[in-house]
């Protein structure tokens, strides 16, 4: 496993070099010295620390958002593979298909019959004009 300098470890975690050094001093993270005498941390140990720290994306309950297009419907199909999931939602006359990570679909408990909301915000929306049905 690669050894990372303190500066590299800090950049990967989005913290300061001093924070990583404090973690080493507190025993939260183990560091060694490389051949040049610089303090380094093992990449696998750093990954273990991140996993043990919990979900960094847990930022609290969403109380508002910028997406204006919200479609409440029922999940009709979920196709999962090892990495991704395709989720189909029937919202009135509209079929909405979402591709997401399998982890996200599992965490949301998505399966046929679940009522969910598809919040859509797109920078590219195609508007068409059609002929009336015959």
How is the beta sheet containing 84-91 ordered, strand by strand? Answer: 94-101, 84-91, 69-80, 115-120
Q: Give one DSSP letter per residue of 62-110, joined into a string.
A: ----S--EEEEEEEEEEEE-SSEEEEEEEETTEEEEEEEEHHHHHHHT-
Domain CATH number, residue 80 = 2.40.50.100
Say whether both 111 and 73 belong to one domain.
Answer: yes
What are 73's two structure tokens?
A: 């419907």
| Residue 18 to residue 21: CA distance in whole angstroms | 5
What CA–CA distance (Å, rounded) separates 70 from 122? 12
pLDDT in tens, 74-107: 899 999 999 999 999 988 888 899 999 999 999 9
> Is the same domain home to 73 and 114?
yes
Residues 48 and 75 in one domain: no
Contacts of 12 (CB under 8 A, 6+ apart): 4, 46
| pTM of this structure | 0.55
In a shared domain, residues 17 and 43:
yes
CA angle 49/99/127 to nearest 5° reads 135
Domain assignment of residue 127, yes or no: no
Report the number of distinct structural domains present in the chain. 2
Q: What is the mean predicted confidence (pLDDT) over 67-78?
A: 86
Q: 31-35, 60-64, 103-107, 125-129: lowest mean pLDDT where?
A: 60-64
pLDDT at 128: 79
Q: 111-126, pLDDT tens digit by residue?
A: 998 889 898 887 777 7
Q: In this structure, are 37 and 74 located in the same domain?
A: no
* pLDDT the model gives residue 66: 73
> Within a domain: residue 130?
no
For 22, the domain range is 3-52
């Amino acid at each position: 496993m690669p050894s990372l300098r303190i500066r590299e470890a800090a950049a990967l975690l989005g913290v300061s070099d001093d924070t990583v050094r404090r973690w080493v001093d507190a025993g939260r993270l183990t560091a060694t010295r490389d051949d040049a005498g610089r303090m380094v941390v093992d990449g696998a140990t750093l990954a273990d620390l991140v996993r043990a720290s919990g979900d960094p994306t847990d930022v609290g309950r969403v109380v508002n958002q910028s997406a204006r297009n919200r479609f409440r419907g029922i999940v009709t199909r979920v196709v999962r593979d090892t990495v991704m999931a395709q989720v189909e939602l029937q919202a009135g006359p509209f079929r909405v298909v979402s591709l997401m990570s399998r982890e996200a679909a599992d965490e949301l408990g998505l399966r046929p019959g679940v009522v969910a909301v598809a919040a859509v915000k797109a920078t590219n929306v195609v508007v068409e004009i059609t002929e009336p049905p015959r």
